[in-house]
Amino acid sequence: MPNIGTVLKQEIARLSRREIRAQVHTTKKASAQHRRDIALLKREVATLRRQVALLQRQALRTPSAIPSESTTRKVRFVAKGLRSQRKRLGLSAEDYAKLVGVSAQSIYNWERGHATPRAEQVSALAGLRGVSKRMAAARLAQLGRKTVKRSRK
């Protein structure tokens, strides 16, 4: 014949496991639902980031400050003017190149007179002529780039 203490102990253990299982079941279901929701939100964020990147690339390709072909006037390119404009804006060649949509090496070559920009690049440069330091910094920030502050003494 089993001991009453042993039987009581086994019954208490069984009932406590049953109660714990009932309590934990609802928590597991809620946790699984939260994980599904988080995964869905992560997928949506990834999709939105891809769309933003695509729109930024498209915005860089088509500068809004370029006048239309019918009203364009001939724009001259002068290397010295490019260098002075870049320095006036306080931008490095790399940051200025990001605004124009070319490489930093292209900017260096244009400033030194070793190369000349193509027509669409000249029009992008002309679109930057009326830009202030704040506007240039805002465009760089919009592109997700940091401006490099240059101090000259």
Full DSSP string of 20-63:
HHHHHHHHHHHHHHHHHHHHHHHHHHHHHHHHHHHHHHHHHHS-
**Quick check: 67 pLDDT over 60?**
no
Closest CA to 119 of 74, 56, 78, 60: 74
pLDDT tens digits along 107-150: 999 999 899 898 888 888 888 888 888 888 888 888 875 555 55
Average pLDDT over residues 78-104: 90
User: Whole-prediction pTM value?
Assistant: 0.48
pLDDT tens digits along 70-79: 455 677 888 8
What is the number of other CB atoms lying within 10 angstroms of the CB of residue 136?
A: 21
Burial 86-121 (b: 16+ CB within 10 A, else e): beebbbebebbbbbbbbeeebbebbbeeeeebeeeb
Q: What is the rounded CA–CA span in Å between residue 38 and residue 45? A: 10
Percentage of residues in the chain having pLDDT higher than 90? 44
